A and B are shown apart, each in its own frame.
Chain A
Amino acid sequence: MLSTRLCSIAAIALLVTGCANNSPSLGSKNISYGDTKAVETVTNEFGSTDLQMIAESMTRSLAQSGTLQGRPVVQVYDVKNKTSEYIDTREITNSIKTQLMKTGTARFASDDNQMQNQVDQLKLQNQSGLYKKTTVAKTGNMVAAKYRLEGSISSIVKRSSDYKDVFYKFSLQLIDVESGLAEWMDEKEIRKTTER
């Protein structure tokens, strides 16, 4: 009697596990994850592919140019947006900085937008009296940048009844802080045309 019961429980358990959904996904089938590296042509506004192409091309050109000898300290400034559309240019800056860091050719000083946090932290450690003295970061030891990296993106937009043409030009230059000389410069041009 007991063995019959056990058998039936086992059979039910087997049936239940057999019917279970073993796919590691949950939710609507209309939503899916796409390839982040795919060529995106949903509209002809500035898009992910443009950001990736610009960062890739500029970083590699700079790293391979041989200008960055001995892993100099570089300060990155936000890319100036001179286009007519909203572009989160800080993301271009971040991508360039990340990729340059991965090449191992440069070190980076606090960016202009992070400087306040850096100064606040130093002040907090040194002036608040909250921290153990041996662990406090001393003031006056920040490493100054040898170069500054500045860029801009501009666009020319033309429309007709049949076409919309957008031409983006991204420029990046590396300037020696002491001499003020531009040591390296490159451009990336992108044309996107929509036929109506």
Chain B
Amino acid sequence: MAGAPALTDLAVGDGATITDMVNPTVQRHSARLTPREREVLALVAAGISNKGIARALQVSPNTVKFHIAALLEKLDAATRAGAVVAALRRGELSL
């Protein structure tokens, strides 16, 4: 998305900018997901199996498991559903 304005630069009216209003709990999270992790999580959210994800991304099932373990860790989630909710709240996954 080169050239697109960063979300925090956009005015939301009434003189307030989004930066003024960003949920502090969101800002506190530091471990960003990698683009590959976001791809894996979108497939997890859609209920695709590990093998299905491996096929879609042309990687090995073990690589998928590795990404999912990293996702659970970064999103502080115990379950796949928990990871999906956490990523949706952080704006890292689209609906």
Indicate whether A and B interact: no
Chain A residues close to B by CB (< 8 Å): none
Chain B residues close to A by CB (< 8 Å): none
